Amino acid sequence: MKKIGVAILGLGTVGGGTYKILTSKKEKFINTFGTDVTVENVLEINDARIKQLNIDQSIVTKNIAEVVSNPAVDVVVEVIGGIEPAKTFIETALKHGKTVVSANKELIAKYWHEIEAVAKANDAGFYFEASCVGGVPVIRTLTESMQGNDILSIKGIINGTTNYILTKMSDEGLEFNDVLKDAQQKGYAEADPTADVDGFDAAYKLSILSSLAFNVKVPIEKVYREGIRNISKKDIEYGKEFGYELKLLAIGKRGENGIEARVHPTFIKQSHPLASVKESFNAVFITGDNVDDIMLYGKGAGDMPTASAIVSDILYSSGVAEHYYVPFVNDKNGNGVFNKDFSCKYYIRLTVKDKSGVLAQIAGVLGDNNVSIYQVIQKESLDGKAVIVVMTHTTFETAVKKAVEQLGGLKDVVEKVNALIRVE
């Protein structure tokens, strides 16, 4: 029978969930996989948390040196989060030949190249299924189930907080700030929601997923990022009139002009599978040149779903003949061609003076910038003002942004352009 000794660094939400699974499923792992998994060490400074989980004090330490020098420890699970001391702890474990399993998407997105180099130099494994989309096995799908494909695109709802907020805004007609307060009260959003609502969390995940999908290092600096703070319920309502739902999408594509990686609010057709993903659930839609379209769906966060992915990596890493190292990751700056001027359709909302000739002015500016109008609607007219909503044909990002800047300068546009939302 194979024996695996595990050390858990941090007993927060995910660390606690990992401990619960490893201890409650111990007999199953023995009977089903012939593997005896034992928690040999726990590194935690919060004594109350240790007591809450009823952990034997004999395996508790506050010193990373005790963990890495313990010969019974084969796998170190890092669930501290943040950059430091997590990075130092991971590299220390790898230098001692320990396999490391991590859920730390920010650290991996920013320092993957350094960590992987240390792992390779010490013949140790580095696994991070839990870093992206919680319990949904998207990383293993990309690395082990898609070898017969060139992946053309990856689109995902990969942040549960923003999907919860946008779902409530769409289904209940609420404004962003009201739903954010509700999400914070229910524990879906942090007291400081910046990482989620401004798109940082999704950008970290997309950096990792698009790197794996396209076999090219996609640094976090190459990911275009835009959050949902400025989304209005009006835009969601108007989008529905065009047949669209609004989601915060993480989009990676590989085309003739290179790789594009972007996170932003996006209108998608109501018939698209991603449009039906609601509340805090996540989904990733992958298109390969041979397999065509597949979608993975499930809970993208939380203690037990994320811990499930960590435990999967623990068992998986113990069964491989040799550890796999991503070949591109040693190139710190990335070795791909990245397309900043991506193309798609666009939704534009303006408040204008309710008078003849305004629409012609708008069409003129768009036309001068090679932006073609697909559809236009005029909404309520109050106090001499009207709302114009334009849906464009596919065009380029730079052209639309230049047109929007010019539209904001028209004398009959009451305010600057109210909203610019991309459409897939």
Which positions are catalytic? 205
Asked if residue 38 lies in contact with residue 5, where contact means CB atoms within 8 angstroms, the answer is yes
Please report the DSSP string for 95-115 in residue order.
HTT-EEEE--HHHHHHHHHHH
Rounded CA-CA distance 343/393 in Å is 10
**176: Cβ contacts below 8 Å, ≥ 6 apart:** 165, 169, 228, 229, 231, 232, 233
Name the nearest CA neighbour of 104 among 316, 383, 309, 389.
309
Range list of β-strands (E), 181-274: 224-225, 244-255, 258-269
**207: Cβ contacts below 8 Å, ≥ 6 apart:** 109, 218, 219, 220, 222, 223, 261
Rounded CA-CA distance 272/352 in Å is 33
**289: Cβ contacts below 8 Å, ≥ 6 apart:** 149, 150, 151, 152
Range list of β-strands (E), 10-45: 35-43
Asked if residue 265 lies in contact with residue 247, where contact means CB atoms within 8 angstroms, the answer is yes
Residues in a beta bridge with 292:
288
Rounded CA-CA distance 400/387 in Å is 19
Rounded CA-CA distance 151/253 in Å is 8
